[in-house]
């Protein structure tokens, strides 16, 4: 059997199934590859075996060979250990970004080359544009499904070897194509979150690896209003799970997480979705990654997202000598969270991004002042 020119990552979901279908119908020499990225922990909560069966069924339906690779050890070292370290530091990581960089577009790409393929393909909603020797990452045509935010850490070599067959399609079209072709995944529910967490209780899962201590929930002015089960379990802007009942002297309005003091084991909250304690206009990042290989300038204007599916926000970017970024927005931003990704855009072109290190939100300014 001759080597395929493209290997498509078949996850057992409808998106990768249709990506494979479209490539097959374009007469692309093709094979599928199913990745196992998490070792079974005995909980029964990971759908990997069900997804594997669906991937096999899809490839059988399409008449293409399928390969299998176990990247669970690579996932642990390249993604999960970082995930735990970030939570232990009180930050909120984005493992999907690391998973794409370290697993799907590194180890999967290497595996595809090992099979003899030139390209890989995935079911991501994004586009690649080739301009001479340069490659650009573009948003998907369906902005509501665009996943370029999670792909911003990819580089020129990775993108040059990647195809995104769904980049011009809407999700409704993908479902219809799958149904018309009789694919067994046509009506399958989209996966949510990360396989190793799945639908299980997040606190129970994280508690296996990061034993947490209960502690006080305080307002920014120091009044105790409740008790938390562990600061690791909460992120800025979160409302759910606080279990703060009626508190004497306060309105019956919802409470939101506005800060965390990991060293002091204190969770800070305030009332109101637009509380000023969640607002910031400036952020500072860790070292940035640029898809083109370097920034467009030392200082430039663009738009940014500080969370997935956030509307574009105009900003001014300064690239500092160490490669980190100083970013100023024209208006207040809500719940910009250290550990999450800042992703920069010029129109539909994704420029790159960086991990958010800190902001000028009120509690962060206070903590820095106390530490000085």
Strands (E), the chain: 6-9, 30-36, 66-70, 119-121, 126-131, 134-139, 162-163, 215-218, 224-228, 255-261, 266-271, 279-287, 289-290, 299-305, 313-319, 324-334, 341-346, 349-359
Instruction: Evaluate whether 279 touches 333 at the Cβ level (below 8 Å).
Output: yes
Cα 139 to Cα 145: distance, rounded to the nearest angstrom: 9
Of 83-97, 180-194, 309-323, give the lowest mean pLDDT range.
Answer: 180-194
* Mean pLDDT estimate for the chain: 93
Report the interhelical angle of 14-25 vs 48-62 (nearest 10°). 20
Average pLDDT over residues 38-58: 78
Residues 57-62: contacts with CB under 8 Å, at least 24 apart: 57/184, 57/185, 58/10, 58/12, 58/16, 58/17, 58/20, 58/32, 58/183, 58/184, 58/185, 59/10, 59/20, 59/32, 61/181, 61/182, 61/183, 61/184, 62/20, 62/21, 62/24, 62/32
Residue (of 335, 333, 275) closest to 303 by Cα position: 333
Q: What pLDDT, on a 0 to 100 scale, did the predictor assign at position 163?
A: 98
Cα 289 to Cα 352: distance, rounded to the nearest angstrom: 6
Cα 156 to Cα 109: distance, rounded to the nearest angstrom: 13
Average pLDDT over residues 310-317: 96
Cα 242 to Cα 233: distance, rounded to the nearest angstrom: 10
Residue 370 pLDDT grade (very low, low, confident, very high; cuts 50, 70, 90): confident
Taking only the tens place, the pLDDT of each residue in 272-293 is 999 999 999 999 999 999 999 9
Cα 157 to Cα 135: distance, rounded to the nearest angstrom: 9
Taking only the tens place, the pLDDT of each residue in 12-45 is 999 999 999 999 999 999 999 999 988 765 555 5
- Among 75-79, 91-95, 328-332, top mean pLDDT goes to 328-332
Average pLDDT over residues 62-88: 94
Average pLDDT over residues 289-311: 97
SS (H, E, C) 300-349: EEEEEECCCCCCCEEEEEEECCCCEEEEEEEEEEECCCCCCEEEEEECCE
Which residue among 27, 46, 59, 195 is the active-site one? 195
- Write the CB contacts of 173 (distance below 8 Å, at least 6 apart in sequence): none
- Does residue 196 have a pLDDT over 60? no
Q: What pLDDT, on a 0 to 100 scale, did the predictor assign at position 48?
A: 77
Query: What is the CA angle 217-220-224, rounded to 5?
Result: 35
CA dihedral 100, 103, 108, 113 (to 10 degrees): 100
Residue (of 259, 277, 309) closest to 140 by Cα position: 309
Which residue among 99, 302, 315, 350 is the active-site one? 99
pLDDT higher for 278 or 132? 278
To the query of whether residue 99 is one of the catalytic residues in this protein, the response is yes
Taking only the tens place, the pLDDT of each residue in 226-266 is 999 999 999 999 999 898 988 888 988 899 999 999 989 99
Q: What pLDDT, on a 0 to 100 scale, did the predictor assign at position 246?
A: 81
pLDDT higher for 43 or 155? 155
Work out the percent of the chain whose per-residue pLDDT is above 90.
80
Q: Give the β-pairing of 215-218 and 266-271.
A: parallel
- Phi and psi at 140, nearest 5°, equal -70, 155
Q: Give the β-pairing of 349-359 and 266-271.
A: unpaired
Q: Give the β-pairing of 66-70 and 30-36.
A: parallel
pLDDT higher for 210 or 18? 18
Q: What pLDDT, on a 0 to 100 scale, did the predictor assign at position 245?
A: 80
- Does residue 372 have a pLDDT over 70? no
Write down all domains in the chain, each with its CATH number in brackets: 6-180 (3.40.50.620), 212-271 (2.30.30.280), 277-371 (2.40.30.10)
Residue (of 32, 40, 30) closest to 13 by Cα position: 32
- Does residue 211 have a pLDDT over 90? no
């Amino acid at each position: 059997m001759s080597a395929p020119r493209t290997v498509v990552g078949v996850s057992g979901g409808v998106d990768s199934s249709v990506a494979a279908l479209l490539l097959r119908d374009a007469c692309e020499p093709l094979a599928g590859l199913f990745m196992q990225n998490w070792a079974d922990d005995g909980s029964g909560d990971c759908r990997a075996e069900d997804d594997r069966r669906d991937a096999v069924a899809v490839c059988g339906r399409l008449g293409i060979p399928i390969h299998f690779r176990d990247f669970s050890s690579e996932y642990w070292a390249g993604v999960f250990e970082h995930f735990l370290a970030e939570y232990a530091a009180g930050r909120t990581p984005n493992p999907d970004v690391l998973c794409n960089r370290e697993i799907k577009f590194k180890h999967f790409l290497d595996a595809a080359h090992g099979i003899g393929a030139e390209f890989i393909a995935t079911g991501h909603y994004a586009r690649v544009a080739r301009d001479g020797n340069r490659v650009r990452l573009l948003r998907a045509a369906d902005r509501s499904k665009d996943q370029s935010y999670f792909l911003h850490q990819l580089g020129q070599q990775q993108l040059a070897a990647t195809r995104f067959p769904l980049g011009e399609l809407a999700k409704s079209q993908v479902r219809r194509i799958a149904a018309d072709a009789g694919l067994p995944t046509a009506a399958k529910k989209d996966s949510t979150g990360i396989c190793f967490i799945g639908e299980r209780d997040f606190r129970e899962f994280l508690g296996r690896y990061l034993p947490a201590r209960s502690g006080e929930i305080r307002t920014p002015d120091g009044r105790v209003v409740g008790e938390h089960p562990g600061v690791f379990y909460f992120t800025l802007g979160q409302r759910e799970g606080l279990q703060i009942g009626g508190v004497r002297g306060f309105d019956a309005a919802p409470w939101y997480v506005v800060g965390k003091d990991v060293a002091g084991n204190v969770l800070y909250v305030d009332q109101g979705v637009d509380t000023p304690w969640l607002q910031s206009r400036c952020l500072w990042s860790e070292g940035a990654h640029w898809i083109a290989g370097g920034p467009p300038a030392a200082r430039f204007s663009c738009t940014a997202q500080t969370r997935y599916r956030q509307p574009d926000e105009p900003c001014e970017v300064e690239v500092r000598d160490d490669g980190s970024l100083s970013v100023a927005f024209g208006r207040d931003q809500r719940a910009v969270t250290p550990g999450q990704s800042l992703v920069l855009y010029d129109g539909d072109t994704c420029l790159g991004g960086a991990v958010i290190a800190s902001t000028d939100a009120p509690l962060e300014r206070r903590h820095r002042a106390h530490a000085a």
